[in-house]
Amino acid sequence: MKLADILSARSRFGIKPGLDSISALCAALGDPQRKIPNVVHVAGTNGKGATAAFVDAALIAAGKRSARYVSPHLVRINERFFLDGKPLSDEILDSAAERVENAIASSPALSGVTYFELLTAVAFDVYSHSGCDCCVLETGLGGRLDATNVCEPAVTAITRIGLDHCDILGSTIEAIAAEKGGIIKKGVPVILGENVTAVRSVVESIAREKGAPFVYAPEAVRPEEVPGTLSIGGAFNRENAMTAMAVCKVLAEMDSSLDIGKMKLGFGRAVWPGRYQKVGRCIVDGAHNPPAAEALVRSIESDPSVDTPLTLVAGFCGDKDVDATLSILRRVADCAIPVKSSNPRSLDTGLLAEKMRKCSFSVLPAAKLADLPKIPSLVCGSLFLAGEALVAMGAYPWPSDRVDPNEKTSSQAYVELAARIFGIPPSSVSLDTAYGSQGWDSVNHLRLVMEAEEAFGVFYPIDRIPQIKTIRDLISLAEKRKD
């Protein structure tokens, strides 16, 4: 696949929040994002993908040609791009990727376009030529500085917000809410899903400042208005369905051709794998942070068809709050099997086993994912692991002839750079790897700084270089320089 090859050259740039690069790239493409009609822009910490899937399916059920752009993918990149409810073909994506790559090549200023920015430009390009009636766009990370935020939405929606990606979005719920609320546009209705009072206050304040009509989903939608049968499982997805229904009601007010009765049919047809998906006696879910784990556990506790305690099969990326997440999952599982997913950020199984034991799990030896449907079990901790499990169980709904890598976080990109310079495996380097250890001597210290400057487009003042004692310091100083 040509798109996958193009993306591999972009992954080294990590994640760079900001709109300058994507704006310039879109301009080089003729601003396709302005040619996409009736955009629904969705942000949130948890539930935004399911909400987007419900809205997309509802629009299709109402007779609209709907597009959807989501992230990340579980197995293949095609999962990020939907039209008429189906992933786009390699041929369509490759053609768009070539147009985007040509635009990048036309300007030296675009040489640092990231993986996610390129994919977002591909989505804008494809959908601007697709003849779609509407498009549901999910943010990748945050909102205010997310590449999707150059879109021109008809409606914006924000799902439940919690503490995640704190190194980028902020360390308080209010700071993260402000980042997510950055998708709110002047005069454009915003729907907020169920959230704590602090989040509502922040989002409502932003809406007031921008003259955006504010709709709080739990107050706009009665529980009986949400279809009784949902195609995406889990009690927490009733909350996401309520948010989606609030979006549908606002859209129906704006477009008289939309029939709410027909839209409701879509809630039983939405496909969003790896979210409370039952395969035999196994539950596969992508929960990877404490808020998502809490929602997952409550769903299991209220589901009479689930036999507990379960055997937990989990793998986590190293930048997550693993200890807190495991403590929550312990309520429904007593045994645990640590696994390492195909994602390079996946936590080492030895370290994960230690964390499991500290949370009072009985740690078991490895098991075959394909055998899990036979026993009461739970696979979670990473969407990447969820994808691997579904493929192994034969429950992945689309072609799985290959596995496409996802984008790297900035942290991962720095860790991999350091590992290459030190001549050791990336698994041996962490954000807290310190000067004087793991091959980090004075010569490699200078190499690390110089190559980081070239790879990530930052500049480290000479007088600040001695302050870099860990990989975390290297990243922190780079982020301050960008600000």
Task: Write the burial class of residue 183 (CB in 10 Å: 0-12 exposed, 13-18 middle, 19+ buried).
Answer: buried
Within 10 A of 368 (CB to CB), how many other CB atoms are there?
A: 7
Domain endpoint, select from 350, 368, 393: 393
pLDDT at 200: 97
Quick one: 94 and 201 in the same domain?
A: yes
Alpha carbons 477 and 483: distance in angstroms, whole number: 10
Quick one: 243 and 124 in the same domain?
A: yes
pLDDT at 169: 60
Quick one: 184 and 245 in the same domain?
A: yes
Quick one: 309 and 333 in the same domain?
A: yes
User: What's the pTM?
Assistant: 0.83
Q: What is the pLDDT of residues 210-259, one digit of tens each?
A: 999 999 999 999 999 999 999 999 888 999 999 999 999 999 999 999 99
pLDDT at 382: 87
| Contact indicator for 56, 82 with CB cutoff of 8 Å | yes
Question: Residue 454 sits in a domain of what CATH number?
Answer: 1.10.1200.10
Quick one: 297 and 441 in the same domain?
A: no
pLDDT at 457: 57
Residue 42 belongs to some domain of the structure: yes
Question: Residue 281 sits in a domain of what CATH number?
Answer: 3.90.190.20
Quick one: 149 and 258 in the same domain?
A: yes
Residue 146 belongs to some domain of the structure: yes
Quick one: 222 and 108 in the same domain?
A: yes
Q: HEC states along the chain?
A: CHHHHHHHCCHHHCCCCCCHHHHHHHHHCCCHHHHCCCEEEEECCCCHHHHHHHHHHHHHHCCCCEEEECCCCCCCHHHHEEECCEECCHHHHHHHHHHHHHHHHCCHHHCCCCHHHHHHHHHHHHHHCCCCCEEEEECCCCCCCCHHHHCCEEEEEECCCCCCCHHHHCCCHHHHHHHHHHHCCCCCCEEECCCCHHHHHHHHHHHHHCCCCEEEHHHHCCHHHCCCCCCCCCCHHHHHHHHHHHHHHHHHHHCCCCCHHHHHHHHHCCCCCCCCEEECCEEECCCCCHHHHHHHHHHHHCCCCCCCCEEEEECCECCCCHHHHHHHHCCCEEEEEECCCCCCCECCHHHHHHHHHHCCCEECCCCCHHHHHHCCEEEECCHHHHHHHHHHHCCCCCCCCCCCCCCCCHHHHHHHHHHHHHCCCHHHCCCCCECCCCCCCHHHHHHHHHHHHHHHCCCCCHHHHHHCCEHHHHHHHHHHHHC
Domain endpoint, select from 335, 360, 393: 393
- Collect the ranges in the chain with pLDDT lower than 70: 1-2, 4-17, 163-171, 319, 342-345, 407-412, 454-458, 478-483
pLDDT at 481: 45
pLDDT at 401: 87
Residue 386 belongs to some domain of the structure: yes
Q: Helices 48-61 and 236-254 meet at what angle, rounded to 10?
A: 50
Residue 398 belongs to some domain of the structure: no
Alpha carbons 127 and 67: distance in angstroms, whole number: 7
Rg for the chain, CA atoms, rounded: 22
Task: Write the burial class of residue 420 (CB in 10 Å: 0-12 exposed, 13-18 middle, 19+ buried).
Answer: middle
Quick one: 259 and 295 in the same domain?
A: no
Alpha carbons 228 and 238: distance in angstroms, whole number: 9
Quick one: 131 and 179 in the same domain?
A: yes
Q: Helices 173-180 and 197-209 meet at what angle, rounded to 10?
A: 40
Residue 401 belongs to some domain of the structure: no
Q: What is the pLDDT of residues 56-86, one digit of tens each?
A: 999 999 999 999 999 989 999 999 999 999 9
pLDDT at 404: 84
- Nearest in space to 295 (alpha carbons), one of 331, 319, 321: 331
Quick one: 298 and 443 in the same domain?
A: no
Query: What mean pLDDT, rounded, does the chain reach?
Result: 89
pLDDT at 65: 98
Query: What total of structural domains would you count in the chain?
Result: 3
Provide the terminal-to-terminal Cα distance of the chain, rounded to the nearest Å.
36
Residue 322 belongs to some domain of the structure: yes
Quick one: 67 and 199 in the same domain?
A: yes
Question: Residue 214 sits in a domain of what CATH number?
Answer: 3.40.1190.10
Residue 402 belongs to some domain of the structure: no
Domain endpoint, select from 209, 237, 268: 268
Alpha carbons 413 and 452: distance in angstroms, whole number: 10
Residue 400 belongs to some domain of the structure: no
pLDDT at 11: 53
Quick one: 384 and 417 in the same domain?
A: no
pLDDT at 342: 66
- 374: containing domain: 277-393
